[in-house]
Copies of this chain bind each other. A is one copy, B any other.
């Protein structure tokens, strides 16, 4: 059996928001089937229907029970999947919908952010062999005790890539409301260029940094199982952006692939922390226990040999982050806590920067020439991030896009 011809498609909430759009998706899938593909399609809930369900949950309970919450919000995907299967069958294309349980998607039992453990593809496989388009609900699975779980927001991307891996599909098409991955946000930089190809690692950095086209977990999964991801429009036949492992030769082409900015960060600094062993461990332990995700961390040695510890968190976590930090400051006898939320985290990403020295220098020089002050710097192998004043964010993105000539096909 040639499992290589299985292709997985994922359509997000915007793409199935109305009956007309569902019919449009059905037609695209019928074209794929006519091309000889064995089609598996993963759908999200229609438009904002999940939010309406969450509203209901909050109206009947102060703290919705997590098991019931998942049973509730997963119904959105059941609806869109059944409607899409109906639309296909009505147009003489054999199809059926499968929910998480029926599709054999087994997860851990951590509700609302379950992890997919394995997928028993026997039902999907036999329906494909019978010539059907198989429509699978995204975002959901079941525990070993058959309780319904959801795998977190943006989870339908992950469902699709996990299914592609389990079915040994070569490619997973993520069809969405943008037509690909750009060098930066085209609303900020009009000459931003759509990338024909990008590596998993770059996509991962871009996804984590706020380019909302692909959920980071789905990219990790794709990389791990070497599934090629295609990010493309639900509404056109444009080829989109291919996300795959890029060879060293290809890597050499360009040091920087994209520029990204995150306006939802805040910065907390704890001043004059006594320099005792394990003191940083205590702080970040407290933050973690309170579910505060910490991003860029700097621990600086001041002239009087006492540290200040600075880090960034998501704005939503600022209040709890401040509270934990202030308690910690009291506990260890630090001088105090200051914070700032009018910041932007600006990053350049590119697998090519590993082998090209001077990328950081180019970045800092370009920003400096435009009087954009750097408050905080952090780097990884394929990314350089810095914190700047939020009012300078749009300008800074344009400056870097120009400095690295990202609008051009090749450097």
CB-contact partner of A61 in B60, B61, B69, B90, under 8 A: B90
CB-contact partner of A89 in B26, B65, B102, B147, under 8 A: B65
* Residues of A179-220 whose CB lies within 8 A of B: none
A91 to B: closest C-beta gap in Å: 8
- A67, B83: Cβ atoms closer than 8 Å: no
For A18, give the chain B residue with the smallest CB separation: B59
* Residue A57 lies at the interface, judged by CB distance under 8 Å to chain B: yes
| Given A56-B19, A56-B83: A61 and B75 interface contact (C-beta under 8 Å) | no
Residues of B close to A146: CB separation below 8 A: 101-102
Q: Kindly state the separation between the CA atoms of A62 and B89 in the bound complex, as whole angstroms.
A: 10
- A82, B86: Cβ atoms closer than 8 Å: no
Residues of B close to A60: CB separation below 8 A: 19, 22-23, 26, 83-84, 86-87, 90
* Residues of A86-100 whose CB lies within 8 A of B: 86-87, 89-90, 96-97, 99
- B90, A65: Cβ atoms closer than 8 Å: yes
- Quick one: CB contact mask for A216-233 with B, threshold 8 Å, 1 for yes? 000000000000000000
- B90, A82: Cβ atoms closer than 8 Å: no
* Residue A53 lies at the interface, judged by CB distance under 8 Å to chain B: yes
Q: What is the interface size of chain A, counting residues whose CB is below 8 A from a CB of the partner?
A: 39
Residues of B close to A62: CB separation below 8 A: 90
- Quick one: CB contact mask for A54-74 with B, threshold 8 Å, 1 for yes? 001101111111011101100
CB-contact partner of A86 in B68, B84, B89, under 8 A: B68
* Residue A312 lies at the interface, judged by CB distance under 8 Å to chain B: no
Q: Kindly state the separation between the CA atoms of A60 and B27 in the bound complex, as whole angstroms.
A: 12
* Residue A325 lies at the interface, judged by CB distance under 8 Å to chain B: no
| Given A75-B79, A78-B75: A68 and B97 interface contact (C-beta under 8 Å) | yes
* Residue A85 lies at the interface, judged by CB distance under 8 Å to chain B: yes
Q: Kindly state the separation between the CA atoms of A62 and B23 in the bound complex, as whole angstroms.
A: 12
- B89, A61: Cβ atoms closer than 8 Å: yes
For A55, give the chain B residue with the smallest CB separation: B19
Q: Kindly state the separation between the CA atoms of A63 and B86 in the bound complex, as whole angstroms.
A: 8
- A72, B101: Cβ atoms closer than 8 Å: no
A77 to B: closest C-beta gap in Å: 10
CB-contact partner of A65 in B56, B59, B61, B85, under 8 A: B85
- B72, A83: Cβ atoms closer than 8 Å: yes
For A135, give the chain B residue with the smallest CB separation: B68
Q: Kindly state the separation between the CA atoms of A89 and B65 in the bound complex, as whole angstroms.
A: 7
- B96, A67: Cβ atoms closer than 8 Å: yes
Q: Kindly state the separation between the CA atoms of A69 and B86 in the bound complex, as whole angstroms.
A: 8
A20 to B: closest C-beta gap in Å: 8
CB-contact partner of A71 in B68, B71, B99, under 8 A: B99
Residues of B close to A148: CB separation below 8 A: 99
A105 to B: closest C-beta gap in Å: 13
- Quick one: CB contact mask for A224-246 with B, threshold 8 Å, 1 for yes? 00000000000000000000000
- B79, A64: Cβ atoms closer than 8 Å: no
Q: Kindly state the separation between the CA atoms of A79 and B59 in the bound complex, as whole angstroms.
A: 13
A61 to B: closest C-beta gap in Å: 3
Residues of B close to A69: CB separation below 8 A: 82, 86
Q: Kindly state the separation between the CA atoms of A355 and B319 in the bound complex, as whole angstroms.
A: 80
10 contacts between A and B (CB under 8 A): A56-B79, A57-B82, A60-B83, A60-B84, A64-B86, A68-B86, A68-B89, A68-B97, A72-B83, A75-B75
Spell out A's residues near B (CB within 8 Å).
Answer: 19, 22-23, 26, 53, 56-57, 59-65, 67-69, 71-72, 75, 78-79, 81-87, 89-90, 96-97, 99, 101-102, 146-148
Question: Which 5 interchain pairs have the tightest Cβ spacing?
Answer: A61-B90, A19-B59, A72-B82, A60-B87, A71-B82
